[in-house]
Amino acid sequence: MSLPTSSAAGTAPAGPTGAVPPLTVAGAGLVGSLLALYLARRGHPVQLLDRRPDLRRSGRSEGRSINLALSDRGWRALEGVGIADDVRRVSIPLYRRVMHDRQGQLTGQPYGAAGQAIYSVNRDQLNRTLLDLLEARPGVQLRFGQQLQRLDLAGRALHLRDVATGREYTEPYSQLFGADGAFSAVRGALQRTDRYNYSQTYLEYGYKELTLEAGPGGTWALEKNALHIWPRGQYLMIALPNLDGSFNATLFFPYEGPASFAALPDAAAVTAFFADVFADAVPLMPRLAEEFFTNPTSSLVTVRCYPWHAADVLLLGDAAHAIVPFYGQGMNVGFEDCTVLDGLLNAHGDAAWPAVMAEFEQQRKPNADAMADLALYNFVEMRDRVGDPRFLLQKRIENKIAALYPDRWVPLYTRVTFSHLPYAEAWAAGQRQDAVMARLMPYIQAEADFDGPAVQAQLLQELAATGV
Amino acid sequence: MSLPTSSAAGTAPAGPTGAVPPLTVAGAGLVGSLLALYLARRGHPVQLLDRRPDLRRSGRSEGRSINLALSDRGWRALEGVGIADDVRRVSIPLYRRVMHDRQGQLTGQPYGAAGQAIYSVNRDQLNRTLLDLLEARPGVQLRFGQQLQRLDLAGRALHLRDVATGREYTEPYSQLFGADGAFSAVRGALQRTDRYNYSQTYLEYGYKELTLEAGPGGTWALEKNALHIWPRGQYLMIALPNLDGSFNATLFFPYEGPASFAALPDAAAVTAFFADVFADAVPLMPRLAEEFFTNPTSSLVTVRCYPWHAADVLLLGDAAHAIVPFYGQGMNVGFEDCTVLDGLLNAHGDAAWPAVMAEFEQQRKPNADAMADLALYNFVEMRDRVGDPRFLLQKRIENKIAALYPDRWVPLYTRVTFSHLPYAEAWAAGQRQDAVMARLMPYIQAEADFDGPAVQAQLLQELAATGV
């Protein structure tokens, strides 16, 4: 008896083959590429369209963040196509955040329990890996430089333009997956249909990527296995490590105001400002002024829309739910979309697209909304509350509660980052915890008050009553 | 000594003439036409563009509401161009709302003090009047059937298409006013610029216009000088009188659910449903089933966006702030836009477009947002609360307070409809009144409780404390 031969990772179920039209994925970024890989592994012919050139050949840079934080939801999605181990080898675990104050004093906070980490990965490298895997599969067609000019939903047709030649042409689609990002052309067509709910909301902050250089011999000049944060009230800088010893820093900064992009018009102003507020980072930034004026200033948008499907079209990733980056979940929520869709195809079968798309939307929409809220919540927390002594005291008390009752008080960050609990449930639990703390904190003026019998009794009552 | 000759209405200040490029208004609907009239009266050459044919020649019907409720803000705007009296002659004052219950029993509520009324006007007739006035002015160019294909903000250019010939052409603009409605093409271009905040939100209700026929000899079969309402919990019908004795009715109805458009698939179902729930109206609706399936079902959208100006472009009317119709203010807020813009041109001068546009946006945005909130608030009130005995008791108590303290308790509806108070201030005052009522109502179980000394004392305290 011989074992059946199977495709690369050995898990692809039998799927349609031959004359069936391909599934079309718009957008060859992280989510589109991963989705195409999932669909191809199920046996579907897949074509992946992108208006941009192949980033493996062009070395494009669009001012997108270079480093991303991969956490449990993202890992599960990568495991599903058998590439988690490959990616892990080129990622850097970050076990804690390290805060830098203006005097260069450092304070650390672990992200989770011992061994729990988020992982710094390079966006382009991850994208390249996914594209290489796709290219190696039969039945997958990568079509770069093809811009979606217009989507004809009623006629199920794509009006495309070959960017290199200018040629415009039309072709039909059978199932179309819009994974073409926050400014999705696919979503643009849905938005013009009747009763389409849509919003795009910008923060009055932009972000700019800067480089902290490697130390001598490719060593890390700051603690390697940490995410570094320079919180400064109305703005902040963060930095994630690269494999070559450098760190990729991101400044989140108001567009206007006393400390803002508008207030730093030239190299002298930038240099003086950084020397004042990010003094310990400046020695690692010899190209600061050059980068500041060469690198783009990117905006921070939250996109919400509904429905996500219509006319054999489904939106996923940023096209369906672009969020601000302050929880490090943007890629993870998009990757989780792929896991969830794959699970629904397992449940309903690969021919049941209408049912799969409808259930995907129904399951994912509340979770994407919750993640959007969480990301904005973290922005406000990092910007406004992190300097408030009462808030910091509350955070220390919450840590004490989590340590005392680890089964009954799971920190919100842990639920979001180190679990697969639906985001909406994590967010609801976090709000219940906030309510408990609002009732508890009036009795706590200092850390020691927590140990008093009255506070402990009330806490037990709260834990029994609410199930936080 | 001879008096200076002046243009038609005798109020136009000296303005630019001759070789200056015209101001461009996109959209020849009510707000675009009125705005063009205001600008022309200031001495500006004006061109008015619309993708549709001239409604005076085409007799188009797009399923827009036929009747509109004009109230004080709208009248002031019409007075500003000297046509209020002409319009008043073809309008019908509505002094009260008349509720029809399922048994055909009627209950009336005056809209305001004696003599205060909202006015039923015919949309097309009003639009025709404005276009006739525009056409009679030198320096005004009406260009129908010209569709805005693309707006080049950086190049200050309009890419237009002549609908009749299909010819596409490009022309520059100097100042562009986007009054092209809820689905504004001008706004569409702004939406694609960086950091543009935008939302479109639909109710899960649609509306359909129907006709209540005139009585014998063109008489009104229902009370003429009233707005008629058939409130039915999850849906409602309203009717406004026409000059010919008919009433124009609008059914606001869920798209889906037990009583919904989806639940009435054929003439038999429609006829049976109406006979059951709108029994007293049915004898006036001989063409009910025909109209129900011929007239379009229109959706109900709220559009919010910001900023309203960029690159010598300014949005006004529904293009800037489409609202749901439940407060009868859609046209009035758009007309008030024209009054406010005219006032800013008086204050800053006709050459100061950047300052005028910036201040217009700053003044109007909070008021348009408040009006959008008010319209949604009224929808919820009409849908959910009007059947709640406690709510109706509260309304009766509020009427008593307003009668007792007319200077200190102005009803919200009066502030919105019969005043020129900025909508945001009206809305804030309404919310303060709601808060007072929430504190008062626990002590009131029946109307008579209001007269008790304890309630009266608390009311006086509230009135002294909050200034409602």
Q: Could you report the per-residue pLDDT of B327-350, keeping only the tens digit for each? A: 999 999 999 999 999 999 999 999
| Preferred mutation among A202, A204, A261, A324 to probe B, highest tally of B CBs within 10 A | A202
A422, containing H or E segment: none
Q: Is A17 left (phi over 0), alpha (psi -120 to 50) or beta?
A: beta
Task: Answer whether B239's CB lies under 8 Å from B190's CB.
Answer: no
Closest CA to A86 of A133, A47, A50: A133
Taking each continuous run of H as one helix and of E as one strand, the counts in chain A are 15, 19
Which tokens hold the place of A340? 């969830």
Q: Cβ–Cβ of A201/B196 closer than 8 Å? A: no
Mean pLDDT, residues B390-417: 92
Q: How far apart are CA A319 and CA A305, in angstroms?
A: 9
Counting Cβ atoms within 10 Å, is residue B84 exposed (0-12), middle (13-18) or buried (19+)? middle
A341-395 pLDDT tens trace: 999 999 999 999 999 999 999 999 999 999 999 999 999 887 777 767 888 899 8
Q: What Rg do the C-alpha atoms of chain B give, in angstroms?
A: 24
Nearest to A416 by CA among A401, A394, A431: A431
Is the backbone peptide bond immediately before B296 cis, with ω within 30 degrees of 0? no
Q: What are the residues whose beta carbons fall under 8 Å from the beta carbon of A211, sequence distance 6 or more?
A: A246, A247, A248, A249, A285, A287, A291
What is the β-pairing status of strands B23-26 and B176-178? parallel
A213-231 per-position pLDDT tens digit:
999 999 999 999 999 999 9
> Contact at 8 Å (CB) between A81 and A37?
yes
Task: Name every chain B residue with its beta carbon within 8 A of the beta carbon of A255.
Answer: 195
Q: Please name the fold of domain B23-96+121-200+301-378.
A: FAD/NAD(P)-binding domain (3.50.50)
For residue A384, which of A226, A236, A229, A203 has the smallest C-alpha distance?
Answer: A236
- Domain residue limits, chain A: 23-62+77-86+121-200+302-378, 388-466
**Number of CB pairs < 8 Å for A and B?**
30
For B134, list phi and psi in degrees, rounded to 5. Answer: -65, -45
Subunit contact A201:B197, Cβ cutoff 8 A: yes
Tokens of B414: 């009066």
Instruction: In whole angstroms, give the CA distance from residue A129 to residue A90.
Output: 11
Q: How far is B201 from chain A (nearest CA, A)?
A: 5
Interface probe for B, chosen from A62, A149, A200 (most Cβ of B below 10 Å), is A200
User: In 3D, which of A302, A322, A306 has the Cα closest to residue A358?
Assistant: A306
The 10s digit of each residue's pLDDT in B132-165 is 999 999 999 999 999 999 999 999 999 999 999 9
Residues 6+ positions from B259 with CB-CB distance below 8 Å: B232, B234, B235, B253, B273, B277
Measured CA to CA, the distance from residue A363 to residue A367 in angstroms comes to 7
Peptide bond connecting A307 to the previous residue in cis, omega within 30 degrees of 0: yes
**Interface touch B202/A191, C-beta < 8 Å:** no
* Per-residue tokens: A164: 């290199």
* B195, B199, B299: residue with CB nearest A198: B199
Q: Count of CB atoms within 10 A of residue B233's CB?
A: 12
CATH of A23-62+77-86+121-200+302-378, one of 1.10.3720.10, 3.50.50.60, 3.40.50.1820, 3.40.50.620: 3.50.50.60
**C-alpha separations of B13 from A35, B18, B41, B339 in Å:** 64, 15, 8, 16
**CA A467/CA A432 separation, integer angstroms:** 9
Closest CA to A198 of A333, A118, A307: A307
- Structure tokens that stand for B13 in this block: 């200040």
B299 contact residues in A (CB cutoff 8 A): 194-195
Return the minimum-mean-pLDDT range out of A280-284, B96-100, B320-324.
B96-100
Neighbours of B400 (CB within 10 A): 14
pLDDT tens digits in sequence order for chain A, 468 residues long: 333 333 333 333 434 444 689 999 999 999 999 999 999 999 999 999 999 999 998 866 555 668 899 999 999 999 999 999 999 999 999 999 999 999 999 988 899 888 999 999 999 999 999 999 999 999 999 999 999 999 999 999 999 999 999 999 999 999 999 999 999 999 999 999 999 999 999 999 999 999 999 999 999 999 999 999 999 989 999 999 999 999 999 999 999 999 999 999 999 999 999 999 999 999 999 999 999 999 999 999 999 999 999 999 999 999 999 999 999 999 999 999 999 999 999 999 999 999 999 999 999 999 999 999 999 999 988 777 776 788 889 989 999 999 999 889 999 999 999 999 999 999 999 999 999 999 999 999 999 999 999 899 999 998 887 665
Query: Using a CB-CB distance cutoff of 8 angstroms, which residues of chain B are in contact with residue A194?
Result: 299
B146-152: strand order across its sheet: B146-152, B157-162, B168-172
What residues of B are in contact with residue A191 (Cβ under 8 Å)? 200
Mean pLDDT of the region B18-42: 93
* Structure tokens given for B94: 């509505």
Q: Please give the backbone phi and psi of residue A308, each rounded to the nearest 5 degrees, phi first.
A: -95, -10
Question: Which residues face A197 on adjacent strands?
Answer: A306
Among B195, B198, B199, select the one facing A299 at the smallest CB separation: B195
Whether the ipTM is more than 0.90: the answer is: no
Confidence at residue A467, expressed as pLDDT on a 0 to 100 scale: 62
Smallest Cβ distance to B200: which of A196, A255, A299? Answer: A196
Predicted local confidence at residue B10, as pLDDT: 34
CA A278 – CA B443 distance, rounded (Å): 60
